[in-house]
Amino acid sequence: MIVFENVSKAFRTPEGTKVILKDANIVFPSGVSVGLIGRNGAGKTTIMDMISGIVKPDSGVITRYGTISWTVGFAGSFNANMTGAQNTKFIARVYGVDTQELMIYVQDFAELGHHFHLPLRSYSAGMKSRLAFGISIGIPFDTYLVDEVTSVGDASFKLKSRLAFIDRMQESGAIVVTHSMKQLAKLTQAGVVLENGRLTYFENVKDAINRHQSNMGSQEDE
């Protein structure tokens, strides 16, 4: 469970102050997959970064209960001079999970072949994302933060990613950001709409999607 109490966040831009949140109070419940929906550039990724602790709110308190993943698929903290296998081992030790089990899972899931044992500096962006997704989903967290990661790879890998995510959701919760409303309808149960610095929770994700599309004046994705 993640609780926002009077949380505010804004940034200064050349065009003026951009408000992400203004005195937001909301609860992301445990064990529920929640879609975070809003206009392009509204601040969804910033909110995910605040939940993970990368970005601090300007005011208010965010309380986190249980274990929370880094943003699933984020490869920014990998060591480019280490191999995929070495990065996997290192993260397994940091999070206290069985190294060999995670190695086997990631090697099978990411489909990197011999590249798994080559330095990350030789990887394409897609390969890094597949490795990052495999490591992320291979470690059991109470809540997963997911930002567009199921769009990585070809149709077969996208399906594999979606099924792996759904399987994890049998025992965990998630907060999911994606531009695809169809994906949200498949992956999440509830929804939170970000509009004009305010968060509104809907127990049914379809109601959240309808509200967002009403805000946008369109039935299309962002």
Instruction: Answer yes or no: is 122 within a domain.
Output: no
pLDDT of residue 221: 57
Instruction: Answer yes or no: is 46 within a domain.
Output: yes
CA distances from 133 to 35, 62, 149 (A): 18, 26, 7
What average pLDDT does the chain have?
Answer: 89
pLDDT > 70? residue 220 = no
Report the pLDDT averaged over residues 96-122: 93
How many domains does one find in the chain?
Answer: 1
- CB-hemisphere CA count at 13 Å for 157? 18
Instruction: Answer yes or no: is 191 within a domain.
Output: yes
Helix ranges (H only) for the chain are 44-52, 84-95, 99-110, 125-138, 155-168, 181-187, 205-216
Instruction: Answer yes or no: is 32 within a domain.
Output: yes
Instruction: Answer yes or no: is 180 within a domain.
Output: yes
Instruction: Answer yes or no: is 178 within a domain.
Output: yes
CA distances from 24 to 55, 79, 117 (A): 16, 36, 45
Instruction: Answer yes or no: is 138 within a domain.
Output: no
Q: Which two tokens stand for residue 25?
A: 């109070």
Q: Which two tokens stand for residue 102?
A: 């995670």
**Domain containing residue 63:** 1-67+144-150+169-222
pLDDT of residue 74: 65
- CB-hemisphere CA count at 13 Å for 89? 8
8 A C-beta contact, residue 61 and residue 50 = no
CATH assignment at residue 1: 3.40.50.300
CA distances from 18 to 11, 48, 53, 73, 112 (A): 5, 17, 20, 27, 41
Query: pLDDT of 135-191, one tens digit each?
Result: 988 999 999 998 875 555 667 777 888 888 888 888 899 999 988 888 888 889 999
Instruction: Answer yes or no: is 118 within a domain.
Output: no
pLDDT of residue 222: 55
